[in-house]
Amino acid sequence: MKILFVAPQPFYEERGTPIAVRWAVEALCAQGHQVDLLTYHCGQDVSIPGMKLCRCWGPASITSVPPGFSAKKLFCDVFLCFELLSCLFRTKYDVIHAVEEAIFPVLCFRPFLKAKMVYDMDSSMADQIIEKWPFLSKIRAFLEFFEKMAVRHVDLVLPVCEGLAEKAKSFKTSAPVVILRDMAIEGVKNGEKAENLRKKLDFEGKMALYAGNLEHYQGLELVLECLTHIPEDFSLMVVVIGGVKAHIEACERLAERLGVARRVRFIGPRPVSQLPDYLAQADILLSPRIKGTNTPLKIYSYMLAGKPILATRIYSHTQALDDSCAALCEPDAASMAARIEGLLKDTEAGERLGRAARERALRHHTREAYNRTIREAYGHFF
């Protein structure tokens, strides 16, 4: 089939949605489909056999677009819509696969097209907007009206997790709803190995590691505060991978104010391909997220690593984790500190949790499982 894949994201960037977009395009191309990937003007060019990369116009001053809704993102979306119209005039597509808000301009053209429509529901846009601007909670019903219309007027819905699937089904869509779970990131064979963190940072104690962006909802402030509750004789170092310069500097200032700066290190972004090497060096893997419904992509890589996972007991995590495979805590500093101390004292219990998490990842979050889901979902069109 000829597929137009519309992704309102910088592509390629090593973070959440762009990574998931790459996986989906690779899976579709591997199954013999031809894919035109329409995305923002910014990002790193990548070559995937069977894919043609199409970029919309955009100002050179915008070199990246951060996660979540922003004026910069909406500005780029306008130009994406113009390029979408151009693509539809030039080429006849069998399927239009739209990610997140791209579904709305796509559906505007539906009366003039015979193509099947796929809504790649990577998040709840209503929830994202309200999380960013809480005062808009008063118009939640209005915002969800548009999500409902999208879900009801497509031929296939691909939510990324159970919570989004439940929301899509609550809108009483007649379209199949197939959960396209993210997969664990696997290391590149024969690729460059990650540096030895203990040697680089000159310490020999226990290591708790966090990987991901440093947006407020990720809860890094909670981790820093919890360190004030953990006695120094535990000899624990928290290592943080990821984040942009402004967020790293803000977290470093907070660590100084709390008096824990010497117990935490921010080493900045690292290649995604090296993530498994970094995870293997840690004693505890942290996901302190404080709100949200989407399961963080990193959770599946944490699970595959087979190390003890400490995560907050919120729906974002409990869709993928439970007490049999992770140390779950309430999203407050004291609870998190108590769970970390417990893992440091009872290493055998932590190892059991790590093994259980890895077994679950091997069953549900491998590339094979991901590709099989894509194939079965697109099978509705044959």
Query: What integer pLDDT is reported at residue 180 of this predicted model?
Result: 94
Query: Domains of the chain by range and CATH?
Result: 2-183+366-381 (3.40.50.2000), 197-364 (3.40.50.2000)
pLDDT at residue 304 tops 60: yes
Asked whether 304 and 365 are in contact (CB, 8 A), the reply is yes
pLDDT at residue 189 tops 60: no
Cα(342)–Cα(354) distance, rounded to whole angstroms?
Answer: 14
Cα(7)–Cα(98) distance, rounded to whole angstroms?
Answer: 6
Range name among 136-140, 171-175, 189-193, 377-381 with the lowest pLDDT average: 189-193
Query: What integer pLDDT is reported at residue 190 of this predicted model?
Result: 55
Say what the pTM is.
0.85
Asked whether 212 and 279 are in contact (CB, 8 A), the reply is no
* Average pLDDT value for residue range 94-123: 93
Strand partners, 158: 120
Query: What integer pLDDT is reported at residue 239 of this predicted model?
Result: 97
Q: Which residue has the tokens 């440093």?
A: 214
DSSP code string of 221-241: HHHHHHHTTS-GGG-EEEEEE
Cα(117)–Cα(105) distance, rounded to whole angstroms?
Answer: 12
- E-assigned strand segments in the chain: 2-6, 34-39, 51-55, 95-99, 116-121, 156-159, 206-211, 236-241, 264-268, 284-287, 309-312, 327-329
- At residue 265 the predicted structure's pLDDT band, cuts being 50, 70 and 90, is very high
Measuring CA to CA, how many Å separate 133 from each of 68, 139, 143, 160?
11, 11, 13, 23
Query: What integer pLDDT is reported at residue 91 of this predicted model?
Result: 95
* Average pLDDT value for residue range 252-279: 95
pLDDT at residue 131 tops 90: no
Asked whether 205 and 235 are in contact (CB, 8 A), the reply is yes
- At residue 137 the predicted structure's pLDDT band, cuts being 50, 70 and 90, is confident
Name the 3-class secondary structure at 210: strand
Q: Which residue has the tokens 């190995």?
A: 193
Query: What integer pLDDT is reported at residue 187 of this predicted model?
Result: 67
Cα(357)–Cα(324) distance, rounded to whole angstroms?
Answer: 8
